[in-house]
């Protein structure tokens, strides 16, 4: 809980799968809507959810990895992706049923004051720079910052 | 009594899926004065439980909930 008594939620987004990232943003926007101070800590594959649509990396491996990294609109589902067909199918099914798209959900989270944090260490490993991430990312931090957030949180999730 | 339920604002959340009815409600309630009523219309059946939970969490009062022809109508009083 915050010093002013507001409840807090803290979500680690480790996965870069469309369905899991979707769950993370749905819970984050809902927590914010329910009056909670909400933060999301993006690490490893989860960085794709806050990455711009551009190539990354400096060295050979970094640039090779970049070929497999997507942005929030490009990430595929954890099952049935079938080389991108699954992504297309789920997007279409969700749109037909009036479900808010992942990029819109992220924007909604930003508008509602959800704090987006990026993991410094995985950015270093994956050769992703601050400029490769969307401007709305509040800070680039380490595990201790997350643990402090989690200590003060009433809800913590690892997705 | 019915006078009291005259909404100050209306939110049409019909056709929206989870979590949007709750998210939009949380945004629209800010445009209602404290003590005023926000009327929310939704088609998502989950909103029955969700708007109730939202009210419980935020402390706003769910004054009335109606159901008719696939539409759920909520009257929420802003309390803070």
Question: Would you place residue A38 in the very low, low, confident or very high pLDDT band (cuts 50, 70, 90)?
Answer: very high
Smallest CA–CA distance, residue A99 to chain B, in Å, is: 5
Average pLDDT of B43-50? 93
In this predicted structure, the answer to whether residue B73 has a pLDDT above a threshold of 70 is yes
* Cβ-Cβ contacts under 8 Å, B20 against chain A: 100
Q: Could you give the CA distance from residue B77 to residue B34 in angstroms, rounded to a whole number? A: 8
Q: Tell me the pLDDT tens digit for each residue of B18-44.
A: 999 999 999 999 999 999 999 999 999
Residue A47 DSSP SS3: helix
Q: Chain A neighbours among B 15-74 (CB < 8 Å)?
A: 15-20, 22-23, 25-27, 53-54, 57-58
Enter the tokens of residue A70. 């997507």
CA-based nearest residue to A110, from A120, A102, A98: A102
B1-23 pLDDT, tens per residue? Answer: 455 689 999 999 999 999 999 99
- At residue B2, the pLDDT reads 52
What is the rounded distance in angstroms from the CA atom of residue A48 to the CA atom of residue A135? Answer: 14
Which pLDDT belongs to residue A69? 95
Q: Which secondary-structure segment (H or E) carries B47?
A: helix B47-58
Q: Is the pLDDT of residue A137 over 70?
A: yes
Arithmetic mean of pLDDT, A91-107: 95
- pLDDT tens digits, one per residue of A51-95: 999 999 999 999 999 999 999 999 999 999 999 999 999 999 999
Predicted pLDDT at A2: 81
Q: Domain locations in chain B?
A: 3-77
Q: Where are the beta strands (DSSP E) in chain B?
A: 9-13, 37-42, 61-68, 71-77
d(CA A103, CA A96): 16
Q: What is the pLDDT of residue B4?
A: 64
pLDDT at A91: 95
pLDDT category, B80, cuts 50, 70, 90?
confident
Task: Write down all domains in chain A, each with its CATH number in brackets.
Answer: 8-158 (3.40.1260.10)
Q: How far is the C-alpha of A10 from the C-alpha of A15, rounded, in Å? A: 15
Omega before residue B19 within 30° of 0, cis? yes
What per-residue confidence (pLDDT) applies to A87? Answer: 94
Specify whether B18 is catalytic: yes
Residues A118 and A134: their CA atoms lie apart, in Å, by 10
Give A37's Cβ-side CA count (13 Å radius): 13
Residues of A near B (CB-CB distance < 8 A)? 26, 29-30, 32-35, 97-100, 108, 112
Q: What is the mean pLDDT of residues A123-143?
A: 96
Report pLDDT for B48.
93
Sign of the CA dihedral running B21, B27, B31, B33: positive
For B3-77, the fitting CATH number among 3.30.70.580, 2.60.40.10, 3.30.110.40, 1.10.40.50 is 3.30.110.40
Instruction: List alpha helices for chain A, DSSP H.
Output: 18-33, 60-66, 85-96, 102-111, 120-126, 143-151
Q: Which residues, 6+ apart, have CB-to-CB distance to B17 below 8 Å?
A: A97, A98, A99, A100, B44
């Amino acid at each position: 809980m915050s010093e002013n008594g507001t409840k807090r939620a803290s979500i680690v987004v480790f996965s870069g799968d469309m369905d899991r990232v979707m769950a993370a943003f749905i819970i984050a926007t809902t927590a914010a809507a329910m009056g909670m101070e909400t933060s999301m800590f993006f690490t490893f594959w989860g960085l794709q959810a806050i990455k711009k649509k551009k190539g990354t990396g400096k060295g050979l491996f970094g640039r090779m990895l970049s070929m497999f990294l997507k942005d929030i609109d490009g990430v595929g589902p954890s099952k049935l992706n079938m080389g991108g067909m699954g992504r297309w199918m789920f997007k279409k099914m969700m749109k037909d049923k009036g479900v808010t798209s992942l990029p819109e959900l992220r924007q909604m989270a930003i508008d509602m004051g959800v704090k987006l944090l990026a993991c410094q260490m995985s950015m270093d490993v994956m050769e992703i720079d601050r400029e490769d991430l969307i401007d709305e990312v509040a800070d680039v931090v380490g595990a201790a910052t997350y643990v402090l957030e989690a200590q003060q949180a009433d809800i913590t999730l690892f997705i | 009594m019915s006078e009291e339920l005259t909404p100050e604002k209306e939110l049409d959340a019909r056709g929206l899926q989870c979590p949007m009815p709750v998210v939009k409600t949380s945004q629209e309630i800010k445009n209602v004065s404290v003590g005023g009523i926000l009327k929310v219309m939704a088609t998502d059946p989950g909103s029955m439980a969700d708007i109730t939970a939202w009210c419980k969490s935020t402390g706003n009062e769910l004054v009335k909930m109606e159901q008719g022809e696939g539409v759920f109508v909520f009257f929420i009083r802003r309390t803070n």
